[in-house]
Amino acid sequence: MNKVTIYHNPRCSKSRQTLALLNEHGIQPKIVEYLKTPPDAATLEAILKKLGIEAAQLIRRKEYAALGLTDSDDPHELIARMVAHPEIIERPIVVRGAKARIGRPPEQVLEIL
């Protein structure tokens, strides 16, 4: 069985619910509090590939706008902004092997378990 990692924000209710759901299924994931330990650009690129989405789809729009960041279509620029401002990264993200899911709703992560 592949290890499971959750990119977690303990202040987020969906993130807490997703972690609880994993625990209910007997999974003790590696917990990465991404606001304290932001993923680097290479890690974000790998996560995006596992999610099968574009960089723009991983951004929390409200937080992005609150920071006054300008719009960009450049995925490398958006990844750099996520590295610099991890609070704009959608959460939680659960990764297992070559697959990942965003826990919105939390049950969505069950697809990769």
Which residues are marked as active site? Answer: 12
Written as six digits, the tokens of 59 are 């951004």
Please provide the distance, in angstroms rounded to a whole number, between the alpha carbons at the two ends of the chain: 9
Place of tokens 């991890």: 86
